[in-house]
Structure 1
Amino acid sequence: MGIARPWRVQDALGLDRLGEKCYNTARYTWHLGFTGFGGPPSHFKIFYDKFVTRLQWIDEQVYQELFSVCQAFSGPGSTKMLYCINLIHDGTLAAILGFLIWSLPGALGMFGLAIGVSNIGESLPRPAYAVLSGLNAATVGIIALAAVQLAQKAITDKLTRILVFFAAAAGLLYNALWYFPILMLVCGIVSVVYDFRWLHRPVKAVVGIPRALRSKLTGRRKEADATGPGIELAENQQPPDDTTQTKPGSSDHAQTHDDNGTSKEARTVPDSHKLTAISWPFGLGMILAFLVSFIIIVVLRGVLPSPTLLYRLFANMYLAGTIIFGGGPVVIPLLREYVVAEGWVSSRDFLIGLALIQGFPGPNFNFAVYLGALTAINGGYPSAAGAVLGYIGIFAPGLITVHGTMGVWSAIRNRRWVRSALRGVNAGAVGLIYTAVYRLWQIGWIDEGFQSGTSLANDPWWVVVTATSYVGGCWFGLQPWVACIIGAILGLVRYGVVVGQGY
């Protein structure tokens, strides 16, 4: 067994073979900022197909870990996922480069849109509304397909199936900023309680299981505890000596069971990908430094007698990027409170941007660039200043905290309770994706009479557009950006039919 190499600054920054690593990142991610349509749920599927299936930069287990970590903490979920993948594979500088390549195309597009919207009249032409509605309908189909595909991977047993359904149902019934992280926390706790069998003894005492059956279950529980939570030994299989650590170069295989009781091979934490881009003390220091910066910015926002508009904009975006859990679908209502309620952006301009961001590639957090530019224009400041402050303010909190979290994560990821909690958090996060389908469905159709949006279900045409997007991706491998283009064309087709009939 070789001696582990100590952590070094050049390793964390990716300075070894820097040019090769940056070229590697640019080569495989340059197009994602132009083709990553469909919002976070679709992005996760795109990243899985590219980095797990085709490039094999990470494997299935590491991907599921990153998905859970990125969903469990604040900030843009899919952007943090891409950042972490590049961080693990090529280091910090490559991760930053990958983030810029991923986010800047959509950010520049939203900046140009803000300048255009600031010069239009009270309403858009009806063909423009038709295109926007078609984009929204196609996006709903893309997100629905991504939710189904991610659920198929997150569901490993009956418990995770229940947690996916529970999170989806709870997310549909209520919507608040504090609510989503609480739901994922509950899912993680339930998974730990179930896997460690903390309630088995009191339940058996109440139910009164026969002694012979109780003895058999107790024996199986002792054998299962030797291999880890939720894992049972196959017949005549000996438990490993140490389940919390694996031998270097090994994959640590264990035997699990599916819903039908059929045994199947399941890999726990593989040693092929050590998440040691940074050390855990450095990662913890980054998190603490961020918390200090957050406190300073929020305190100054409240105590300064007359802060400038641009500072208030940056503080609001920094606050939003810190407290948003659930990614893009959650950021919209919060940003509405932070800019429309402040009187910086009109409700009409906000809704136009809301419709268009669904058809833009890249992260939905680029919506902050649009709102920042409009805020600066309406306040008499340069539009670029507002756009840059919105961009930095909304993205910085999530990227800083996830970078620090990766250092801490490398130190705790092999613990049994962490793996168990991840299973529940992952299932809960997937369930919440279904809420994004419902929220957009309810406001997807916009026109002159309802510029604030109404349900796509009110016209069968949009239902067909959504189904076309879903079926095209599921059965025919239609790429999300192609589905968005088809949706926009079908929106124009509907407009032509409606005008031809005299409506």
Structure 2
Amino acid sequence: MPKNKQNYIWRLQEIFLVSLYLGLTSFGGPIAHLGYFHTEYVKNRKWITEEIYSDLVALCQFLPGPASSQVGIAIGTYQGGILGGFLAWLGFTVPSVLILVFAFYGLREIDPARLVWIHGLKIVAVAVVAQAVWSMSTKLTPDKERATIALLGAAITLLWPNAYMQILTIMVAGLAGTVFGRHRVTSQHPNMVFPLRKRTGAIALFLFIGLLIGLPLLRQITTNEWVGVFDSFYRIGSLVFGGGHVVLPMLEKEVVPVGWVERSQFLTGYGLTQAVPGPLFTFASYLGAVMGGWPGAIITTIAIFLPSFLLVIGVIPFWDTLRTKSCLQSALWAINAAVVGILLAALYDPVWTSAIRSTADFTIAIICFGLLQFWRVPPWCVVIVACLLTL
């Protein structure tokens, strides 16, 4: 086997194993996932820089779909091309898919509220997000101008907590950067060359739009119910902004009124999804299992995540070129600061508000933060410590 090919195979194996580790240990929802990604990809493995990571987070905030999964796909693509992006998604997604489908078959009678240790996972998410905010702020908001942008972004996001306001905050920050940040940009802006051609990106975007338009038409002319299921889940994955917490109620409107899933089954799956690691979009896998067992789970999982994959592959080659322009670099100077502010707001709501209920919870969060930030303890070990302390 040629050495270059062998190195590529090893790289793909590494991408999959690292994302699988994250898929098994990343609890706490999409914002917490970005904290875990930052720890693993930026700090531990140094696959990308702070600036590139923030750029990718900002880009994925603009795209519909699960932002954390899209960031993972982008990093996997950066390291190993399209196959690397697919393996990064697969490793991060498979654990929660398996847990939720097995839960449908074996744990249908268990009330998720009785699983006390779940609260420990939420406390760990507080520590992880706090660590990410700490680290990113030192690099991306080192002066009073960008610190001000971050604080304003956090304030706006907290006062008007919805996905569209986050997008508007990023857009306004970018506009401010083009006006006030030109003299701040240097030629040393980090380069990020993805192994994708623009033609590949154009094909991916064509497929994304083609399926979005074509599936509803196909649904009208066929009697196959699974075509309708695929269309519903693909459409949600294509149009939802705000990540997993937004997609859950949207799924309810698609599957409960038409009788695909009973309301009691939906609520059980809703609770279980909050307790598992990985992307919240895998709730679709549970619903697919309810509708048709393992084949149904596979169909709904592919349908809801396919738009995200096509969008990332479609946009990245053009983003690769655009971000080298001085005007966009000026915008990114401020956008990166705004991303820190949005992450700071999310640290409070929903991460802090859903986890810290008492002085004891706050104490456990401080311990977890210290273990992560200063003692460099692996996140999975911190998860075990937090769960034990909350029992």
Q: Distance in 1 between matches of 2:124 and 2:39?
A: 21
Residue 397 of structure 1, CA deviation: 0.8
Alignment partner of 1:120: what SS?
A: coil
Partner of 1:282: 200
Map Cα deviations across residues 34-80 of structure 1 (whole Å, 9 max, x no partner).
23344444443444444444544334443333232223322222322
Partner of 2:12: 25
TM-score by length of 1: 0.67
Cα–Cα, structure 1 residues 489 and 394, in superposed 2: closer, same or farther, change >3 Å? same
Partner of 1:324: 240
> Among residues 477, 483, 486, which one is paired with 2:385 in the alignment?
486
Alignment partner of 2:117: what SS?
A: helix
Alignment partner of 1:186: what SS?
A: helix
Cα–Cα, structure 1 residues 129 and 82, in superposed 2: closer, same or farther, change >3 Å? closer
Unaligned runs of 5+ in 2: none
> Among residues 126, 135, 155, which one is paired with 1:149 in the alignment?
135
Write the letter of the residue equivalent to 1:398.
S
Partner of 2:86: 96
Map Cα deviations across residues 199-253 of structure 1 (whole Å, 9 max, x no partner).
xxxxxxxxxxxxxxxxxxxxxxxxxxxxxx1338xxxxxxxxxxxxxxxxxxxx6
Alignment partner of 2:277: what SS?
A: coil
> Among residues 193, 208, 212, which one is paired with 1:294 in the alignment?
212
Partner of 1:413: 323
Contact 2:237 2:307 in 1 (8 A): yes
Contact 1:473 1:480 in 2 (8 A): yes
Equivalent residues in 2 for 1:59-458, closer than 5 Å: 59-117=49-107, 119-120=108-109, 123=111, 128-195=114-181, 229-231=182-184, 267-270=188-191, 273-275=192-194, 277-298=195-216, 303=220, 308=225, 310-339=226-255, 344-345=260-261, 349-350=265-266, 352-374=268-290, 376=291, 382-433=292-343, 434-435=345-346, 437-443=348-354, 456-457=356-357
Cα–Cα, structure 1 residues 316 and 427, in superposed 2: closer, same or farther, change >3 Å? farther
Cα–Cα, structure 1 residues 69 and 176, in superposed 2: closer, same or farther, change >3 Å? closer
Contact 2:35 2:128 in 1 (8 A): no
Write the letter of the residue equivalent to 1:365.
F
Write the letter of the residue equivalent to 2:210.
V
Higher deviation after alignment, 313-322 or 399-408? 313-322
Q: Distance in 1 between matches of 2:351 and 2:42?
A: 29
Alignment partner of 1:178: what SS?
A: helix
Contact 1:154 1:426 in 2 (8 A): yes
Contact 2:51 2:140 in 1 (8 A): no
Map Cα deviations across residues 168-212 of structure 1 (whole Å, 9 max, x no partner).
2222233445333233222222222333xxxxxxxxxxxxxxxxx
Q: Distance in 2 between matches of 1:348 and 1:461?
A: 34
Q: Distance in 2 between matches of 1:113 and 1:438?
A: 28
**Residue 470 (str. 1) matches residue 381 (str. 2):** no
Residue 294 of structure 1, CA deviation: 1.0
The alignment yields a C-alpha RMSD, in angstroms, of: 3.3
- Rg larger in 1 or in 2? 1
Residue 369 of structure 1, CA deviation: 1.4
Q: Distance in 2 between matches of 1:66 and 1:324?
A: 19
Contact 1:192 1:417 in 2 (8 A): yes
Q: Where is the helix percentage greater, Structure 1 or Structure 2?
A: 2
Contact 1:139 1:358 in 2 (8 A): no
Map Cα deviations across residues 2-33 of structure 1 (whole Å, 9 max, x no partner).
xxxxxxxxxxxxx9945531322213541333
Map Cα deviations across residues 337-378 of structure 1 (whole Å, 9 max, x no partner).
44456665556655554454454333332232123323x1xx
TM-score by length of 2: 0.83
Identity fraction in percent: 26
Contact 2:32 2:125 in 1 (8 A): no
Contact 1:345 1:371 in 2 (8 A): yes
Cα–Cα, structure 1 residues 149 and 350, in superposed 2: closer, same or farther, change >3 Å? farther
Higher deviation after alignment, 340-349 or 164-173? 340-349
Residue 400 of structure 1, CA deviation: 0.7
Write the letter of the residue equivalent to 1:286.
A
Cα–Cα, structure 1 residues 295 and 103, in superposed 2: closer, same or farther, change >3 Å? same
Map Cα deviations across residues 123-176 of structure 1 (whole Å, 9 max, x no partner).
46x7x3422333333333333333343333332433432332233222223344
Number of equivalences: 386
